[in-house]
Amino acid sequence: MMALPLVPYTIIKLCRAAKKKAKSLHCECAISNFSTWSNMTLVLLWVIMAFLVYYIKNMSAEAQVFEPFNILGLEPGASDSEIKKAYRRLSIQYHPDKNPDPEANKYFVEYISKAYQALTDPISRENYEKYGHPDGRQGFQMGIALPQFLLNIEGASGGILLIWIVGICILLPLVIAVIYLSKSAKYSGNYVMHQTLLAYYHLMKPSLAPSKNIKQEQAKFLKQHPPLVKTQLLIQAHLTRETAGLPPTLNGDLKRVLELAPRLLEELMKMALIPRTAQGHGWLRPAIGVVELSQCVIQAVPLSAKKAGGGSTEGIAPFLQLPHFSEAVTKKIARKKVRTFEELREMTQQERTDLLSQVAGFSAAEVEDVERVLEIMPSLSMEVKCETEGEEGIQEGDIVTVQAWIKLQRPNGLIGALPHAPYYPNHKDENFWFLLADQNSNNVWFSQKVNFMDEATALTTASKAIEEMMEVSGASARETSAAVREAVEKVKGGSRLVMGKFQAPAEGNYSMTCFCLCDSWIGCDTKTGLKVKILKRTRAGTRGGVITEEGPLLEDGAEEEEEVEDEEYDDDYESEYSEDEQDEQDTKKGTTANGDAHRKNKQSSSEGSESEDE
């Protein structure tokens, strides 16, 4: 019975360990988690299991089945004369008067004599037939010690027994179920309390810009919630990597806070994306802020390091997630015209080795650690399109289908991998968020969480979505099969399909932005522009809409219906997705309208052709 749960659990633990070992990064700063309570408990259970197996084996050797015919060397059903002849023959060989060996004497008394007695004496024969041994019942019996009056079903004791059965078999399971359901009702599917989600919802604001009285409001809030002061200080110590001097008690509290952080941040992300407007849109800037906070928590990088400067919109934060890097190292390599993290990644391995060894003063082992991290860092590219199924163009009120293929590539060839996070003490999978948003209005039209770890689920989801889309479009079985095969190949090649629907807003031209944000790595996010033109609702049969490849499609006299909301960011922290940056990019780069948008490594790949514009 003990092996039933122990063996499957051990197999699951070994598979997870092998999977994690294959995907994790093994460098000098890697953390070993073998000496955990679960692993030590598992080893202890296997030791107990081995002892029980050894004990049972010895017990089974002692408790052998008594077979009188085999002992006498006869076939079952032998006659009395054959039994007597066999007994006399064995007596000559094992009788104490004939054989002085003590073992022979023991065998003759315990086996030969009892076997002959079991087959000739009527009482011994009856015991053998009933209990399998001429001496009667052997071994031991197991039972439940109950009072004798409970076993008497006559009179009042029958009612007592009925009460016991009802209490143990019915009432006790019901009480346990009620307690479990009452406690589970307080938590969401991600094991976060609904009270916490309610606080997130009310405290969430549409902008990251602080109010004028932010210090007074923060002091008042922390005064009303004293435990949050301790949590905030612990997180700040983790972000600044100053946890070495913490006492054991606070260190344990910090590990608990970091263990809960990914779940809490994911629910906070959902609260930012929950429909807030009449059109069912969420908020963009809080969502980006939550993802950036998650990146800093996993990599133990302060938020102030993400402040734009030195030609980089992300500051020095991406460099600090590399082993042996510090602010001083980033300043040294910046003198050699390597100011952004993307420039460092685009260098050849030999160029990076020369730069880090000669300029930063890294040893060969330190350079190797940096290369291992760079090999596992993901690079994202996107192909996005919005359309109305079965129609040309998009009219106001239509159900628009957004389809995006997000491809992940790594220099080492892996698709799913664990992030390099030596300062984060727990297991953490990479998660990505796809957002289709309007930066001008701060609205998120569509969002979906993307994971590259589970390929089987991605294959099933992509195949089913493509098949349904082809059936709606009226494609033949051959075309559907070809489209499904193409989708399967894309998924196996490291792509994930994101599909969803949203209702088209009022007539107008919308400058949308597609984001793909990683919650574990800094500097791996990507975004691309997408122009969407919504036509005025007309009668059936008069639908129209031209898909072009460059520039916004504006009709004569058409007015922009978007309101630009100016927001000020904190001096110590500025998001990399600021409105000023987007406005500057819109003036320099053209994007697609109601068509396809291709994006790779934060550089637009959709450039319009002059011949089509003419």
Give the tens place of pLDDT for each residue, 2-12.
Answer: 666 777 778 87
- pLDDT classification of 559: cutoffs 50, 70, 90: very low
- pLDDT classification of 309: cutoffs 50, 70, 90: confident
For helices 226-239 and 214-224, angle between their N-to-C axes, nearest 10 degrees: 120
For residue 32, pLDDT over 60 is answered with no
Quote the percentage of the chain above a pLDDT of 70: 74
Q: Give mean pLDDT, residues 602-613.
A: 37
- pLDDT classification of 18: cutoffs 50, 70, 90: low
CATH topology of domain 379-535: Immunoglobulin-like (2.60.40)
Alpha-carbon distances, residue 176 vs 168, 170, 182, 416 (angstroms) = 11, 10, 10, 40
Q: Give mean pLDDT, residues 252-259.
A: 93
Distance, in Å, from the CA atom of 565 to the CA atom of 214, rounded to the nearest integer, reads 20
Distance, in Å, from the CA atom of 263 to the CA atom of 273, rounded to the nearest integer, reads 16
Lowest mean pLDDT among 389-393, 398-402, 406-410: 389-393
Tokens of 367: 């350079």
Distance, in Å, from the CA atom of 560 to the CA atom of 303, rounded to the nearest integer, reads 35
- pLDDT classification of 108: cutoffs 50, 70, 90: confident
For residue 575, pLDDT over 90 is answered with no
For residue 567, pLDDT over 60 is answered with no
Considering just the CA atoms, what is the radius of gyration of the chain in Å? 37
pLDDT of residue 97: 80
Return the exposure string of 534-550: e unless at least 16 CB atoms fall within 10 Å of the residue's CB, then b. Answer: bbeeeeeeebebeebbb
For residue 381, pLDDT over 90 is answered with yes
- pLDDT classification of 83: cutoffs 50, 70, 90: confident
- pLDDT classification of 225: cutoffs 50, 70, 90: confident
For residue 245, pLDDT over 70 is answered with yes
Residue type present at position 378: P
For residue 203, pLDDT over 50 is answered with yes
For the chain, domain boundaries: 2-25+37-58, 68-131, 199-376, 379-535
Q: Give mean pLDDT, residues 406-421.
A: 91
For residue 154, pLDDT over 60 is answered with no
For residue 161, pLDDT over 50 is answered with yes
Distance, in Å, from the CA atom of 435 to the CA atom of 449, rounded to the nearest integer, reads 9
Q: Give mean pLDDT, residues 578-603.
A: 47
Q: Give the pLDDT confidence of 485-495 residue by residue, as tens digits.
A: 999 999 999 99
For residue 191, pLDDT over 70 is answered with yes
pLDDT of residue 292: 94
Q: Give the pLDDT confidence of 313-369 residue by residue, as tens digits.
A: 788 999 999 999 999 999 999 888 888 999 999 999 999 999 999 999 999 999 999
- DSSP notation for 347-408: S-HHHHHHIIIIIS---HHHHHHHHHHHHHS-EEEEEEEEE-TTSSSEETT-EEEEEEEEEE
- pLDDT classification of 393: cutoffs 50, 70, 90: confident
pLDDT of residue 609: 35
The CATH number assigned to the domain with range 68-131 reads 1.10.287.110
Mean model confidence pLDDT for the chain: 78
pLDDT of residue 595: 56
Residues 6+ apart with CB under 8 A from 558: 508, 509
